[in-house]
Structure formats: structure tokens, C-alpha cells
Amino acid sequence: MPNNETSIQDSSIGGKVVGRDDYSFIINTNYEQRSKYLENLYEKVQKEISENKELREFCEDFDYLSSDKDVIGLEEKLKNGKRENLIDWAKETKERFHKKLFKYAQLSLSAQQINAYILSNIKRTFIEEVYVLICNNTPQEQINTLITERIVKPVKAELGINLFQYNDVDIQGMIYFLTGNCHIKWSK
């Protein structure tokens, strides 16, 4: 009968010691770099708002991302992804973001461009990084961590002066806004 006991003496280990399977993962991030693109657009927003209170023009990217082609619906998509516990939160944060979004979108073409830029980045990151894990049946806790580390924190960092005062809840609302408008999904 083999002895399964192990001991380590007078050693220095430069990492973690794992006795069985290791399911942890590491996410390396650098949120320090911000895009000058948003800073320049913020200046344009302030100028456009002060010069043109009646702006009704929409940029194509913003119009595409905000179009309501809600065939399945936010609630049904979350149910399909086994995230029923998030339905009320998702509706609340989506609505909160939606109100802020259209408040500024009506005032400035540059505001629309900023929102289209942010929403497009969220969509890309979700599809390339989060959706892959969803399709591989990764536990929800890991998916939630990835959303925070690869979407919420980077978007918040890139917002810079954050003219629209988007916070973590608003950024979560952006994800559910995209879900409700059929740009991202939570199941295979």
C-alpha cells in the first residue's frame, strides 16, 4: 500500500503549491492607459451641447447598437443562460443606463460616438472572452470575475474624465442593454 503523505522541508517555493487539480486562472490587466480618443470627444460634446441644443442627428454606429431588434428579450436570454437570479438586476441596470444614454445622445453627435465606442468595445470583449467561457460551461463565478476584470474595470478606466458619470452599475447596464438589443447572448 503506497504512502500518500508528502512533506516539504527547508525549501523555498516561488509560486503556489497545488496538491490536486488547479482550476484557478490569472487575469493580467493594465488600466492605466486611456484613449485620447475619448478625451477629444468629451471636448466636442461640451462644445456641441453649448452650441446646439436641438441636435437630432444619429451616427450610424450608435443607431446600430441602440436599435431595438429584441426578438428573444433580455429576460429570456438570461433564463436560457441559467441566470434567472439576475433578471431584476439586469432590467434595472439596463433601464438606468438607457436613460443616461439617451439624455446625452439627443444633445451631441460626439456623445453618440463615445457611447458607440464604449458599447462596441464591450460587445467585442464579451463575445471574444466571456462568451467563449459560457460556451465551455465555465462556472458563473469565473464568468462574473472576468466581466469585472475585462469589461467593467477597463471601461471605467478608459472613461477618463467620465463626462457622463458612468459608474460600475451603468457599465453593467451597458452589458444588459447590449443583451436586450440582441448583440450578446448568455447561452450557446
Chunk the chain into consecutive blocks of 10 residues (it has 188) and report each block's average pLDDT, rounded to whole numbers: 64 66 68 72 78 58 58 87 95 94 81 90 96 95 96 94 93 95 87
* pLDDT on residue 158: 92
Q: How far is residue 159's CA from residue 114's CA, in Å, rounded to a whole number?
A: 9
What local confidence, expressed as pLDDT, does residue 19 receive? Answer: 66
**Do residues 83 and 186 touch, judged by C-beta distance below 8 A?**
yes
How far is the CA of 34 from the CAs of 39, 40, 162, 163, 171, in angstroms?
A: 9, 12, 12, 14, 17
In sequence order, what DSSP letters do the residues of 118-157 get, joined into one string?
A: HHHHHHHHIIIIIHHHHHTT--HHHHHHHHIIIIIHHHHH
Cα separation values, 137 from 1, 82, 141, 174, 177, Å: 38, 11, 11, 23, 23
Report the pLDDT value the prediction gives residue 55, as an integer from 0 to 100: 55
